[in-house]
Chain A
Amino acid sequence: KQEVTQIPAALSVPEGENLVLNCSFTDSAIYNLQWFRQDPGKGLTSLLLIQSSQREQTSGRLNASLDKSSGRSTLYIAASQPGDSATYLCAVVNAGGTSYGKLTFGQGTILTVHP
C-alpha cells in the first residue's frame, strides 16, 4: 500500500527566505506526483504536476523535483512571501491502477511566512 510522508509538518519562516518542503513515498511505481496548495477553509489548488518520466517542473517561484527511484520529491519556494502561507500537500498516482486521478496524499506541511 502506498504511503506518502511529508516533512516538516509545519514550518515558519521570515519573508524573503528560500525554503524546501519534502515528500517521500514508499512505492516508486507511480504515474505522477502533484503538489497542491490548500488555504484555510478552501479546496485544493494544483501547483505543479511531475510525470514519472520527468525530473522537475517549474512555475514562477516554485520548483518541484522528483527522484522516483528513491521515492522523493521536493518543493522549492524562492523568495517566500506572506501570501505563500498555506498548507502544501504532496500526492501521487500509482501505476497499474485504473485511474490517473486516484491520488494518495501526504498529511501536508503547514507553511507560515511572516513579514
Chain B
Amino acid sequence: DAGVIQSPRHEVTEMGQEVTLRCKPISGHDYLFWYRQTMMRGLELLIYFNNNVPIDDSGMPEDRFSAKMPNASFSTLKIQPSEPRDSAVYFCASSRGARPGNTIYFGEGSWLTVV
C-alpha cells in the first residue's frame, strides 16, 4: 500500500489567503485524523472522522479552520483566512477499526508557512 498521502508537501502563502490541505488515507482504513505540529505546542489533534463522519472537532482552533471528508478516500483541511500563527506542519493519519491494538499510520505532513 502507498501509505497515507498528503498534498501539498510544502506551501508558502500570504496572510489572508485560503489554504487547502489534502489527504488520502490508506485504503480500508475507517478512521482519519488531522494533527498539527508546532515547536511550541508539539502534536495536537485537530479533528478526526469515522466512516467519513466528523466525530470530534474540539481541537480545531477556531472558525477559520474547517475539515471535510466527502468519501472514504479523501479529506481536506481548509484554513480561511490564513494567519502567520497557522504556520505549522499538518499531519493526516489513518487507522483501521476501533481496537486498542490498531496502529495509526501518519502521512509525511504538509509544511505550511504563512507570511
Contact = CB atoms under 8 A, between A and B. Distances in A.
A107 B42 contact: yes
Contacts of A106: 42
B95 interface: yes
A98 B102 CA distance: 14
Contacts, number: 66
Given A42-B108, A105-B43, A93 B50 contact: no
Given A32-B100, A34-B104, A101 B93 contact: yes
B98 A99 contact: yes
A81 interface: no
Interface string A1-37: 0000000000000000000000000000001101010
A79 interface: no
Interface string A75-115: 00000000000000101010000111111111110000000
Interface secondary structure of A, over-half rule: strand
Contact of A99 (B4, B50, B105): B50
A49 interface: yes
Given A46-B103, A51-B100, A101 B95 contact: yes
Contact of A44 (B91, B95, B99, B111): B91
B104 to A, nearest CB: 5
Contacts of B55: 98-99
A51 B101 contact: yes
Contacts of A107: 42
Given A49-B101, A101-B48, A43 B107 contact: yes
Contacts of A36: 106
A43 B106 contact: yes
Given A44-B91, A44-B106, A99 B48 contact: yes
Contacts of A105: 42-44
Interface string A38-56: 0001111110010110000
Interface of A: 31-32, 34, 36, 41-46, 49, 51-52, 89, 91, 93, 98-108
9 contacts: A34-B104, A36-B106, A44-B106, A51-B101, A91-B43, A93-B100, A98-B56, A101-B31, A101-B93
